[in-house]
Structure 1
Amino acid sequence: MIGIGYEGLSGDQLVASLKAEGIEVLVDVRLTPLSRKPGLSKRALSAALTAAGIRYVHDRRLGNPKENRSAYADAASEDGVAARARYRELISGGEGADAVRELAALAEEHAVAVLCFEADQTHCHREQVIAAVKEVVTSVLV
C-alpha cells in the first residue's frame, strides 16, 4: 500500500503514476472528494481510473474533518499534535475503525493507493490511515 497526493499533478499525471506503480485500487480518503483541478473530483477521477483499469473507492469515513485540517500540517506544533490525536481517535473506533479494517482487507488482496491532496504525506492524514492499516495487518499476523 502506498499513499499519493495529487497536489501539483493533473488527473492524467496521477493516473499515469498509479499505473506505473501497478496500483489496482485507489482509495480516496478525502472527506469531500471535490477539487478545483480538472479531472480530480470524484466523478471525473473515477471515470479516468476505470478507463485505465484501476478501481476507484471513496471512503468518507476516513476523511479528515474540515475543522481539523488547518493545524494538521504542522505536526511539530501543539495544535498539530492535537489535530493528529483527534484524527487518530476518529479512526480508532466506530465507523473509522471499520473503514480501516476494510481497507486492510482490500490491501491484502490488491495493490492499493490511498489518495488525498497533499503531495507531502507527512502533512496529510493519509499517513495515519496507512499506519492504522499496518497496525491491523500486524495484529492479525501476531
Structure 2
Amino acid sequence: MPLATIGYESAPQARVIETLKAAGVEVLIDVRAVAASRRAGFSKGLLSASLEDAGIEYVHLRALGTPKEGRMAARKGRTAEMRAIFEAHLAEPEAQLQLARAIEIAKARKAALLCYEADHRGCHRSIVVERMQEAEDFSVENLQPSTL
C-alpha cells in the first residue's frame, strides 16, 4: 500500500498541493501537534479549505504531533532527543488510538503525512511512518515539493 510524507518548510502552499495531487494523494493527515503556522496557507482552516478545493481530504491527528519539548529539541538539531521524547509520547493511549486511525485511513486511500520539516529524516513523521509500517505493508514515498 502506498503512503507518502511531505514537509512544507521550503515550499508555498500551492506547490505542496500540486505535489500531493501529482502523487495521487487522496487524504492529507496533518501530524502536527499545533496545526498553526507562521507560513502563509498552512494553518489548519486555510489548509483544510485549500485541500478540499483541490479534492484532497484533510484530517488532523493532533496526538501524532510532537510535544513541545520534542519540538524544542528538534529546532536545536537534537534529533535523538526529539526521537526519545516522541517515542515516549507515542506510547500514550490517545496517540495509539490516532496511530490506529492513521493506519486505517492509509489502508483505504492513498494518504500523505504532513509536517513542517522539509527533510523527513529529521522529522517525527518518519517515526510515525515506522510505526505504521510495523502494522501494515506500506511503501513510503517522501515527497519533495520544490520552492517556486
Greater shift, 23-32 or 91-100, is seen at 91-100
* Runs of 4+ with >6 A deviation: none
* Secondary structure of 1:114 counterpart: strand
Aligned to 1:35: 37
Greater Rg over alpha carbons, structure:
1
TM-score, length-scaled by structure 2: 0.85
AA paired with 2:70? Answer: N
- Partners of 1:97 and 1:42 in 2: how far apart? 22
Aligned residue number for residue 52 of structure 1: 54
For 1:67 and 1:35, locate their aligned partners in 2 and report how far apart those are by CA, in whole Å.
18
Q: CA RMSD in A?
A: 1.6
**Partners of 2:7 and 2:118 within 8 A in 1:** yes
- Uncovered stretches (5+) of structure 2, i.e. residues with no partner: 138-148
Q: Normalising to structure 1: TM-score of the pair?
A: 0.88
- Segment of structure 1 superposing worse, 55-64 or 81-90: 81-90
Higher deviation after alignment, 97-106 or 66-75? 66-75
User: Which aligned pairs between 1:1-142 and structure 2 lie closer than 5 A?
Assistant: 1-72=3-74, 80-137=79-136
Do the aligned partners of 2:64 and 2:90 also contact (CA within 8 Å) in 1? yes
Cα distance in 2, alignment partners of residues 32 and 61 from structure 1: 10
Identity within the alignment, %? 39
Structure showing the higher strand proportion among its residues: 2
Greater RCO (Cα-Cα under 8 Å, separation 6 or more)? 2
> Aligned pairs, how many?
135
Higher helix share: 1
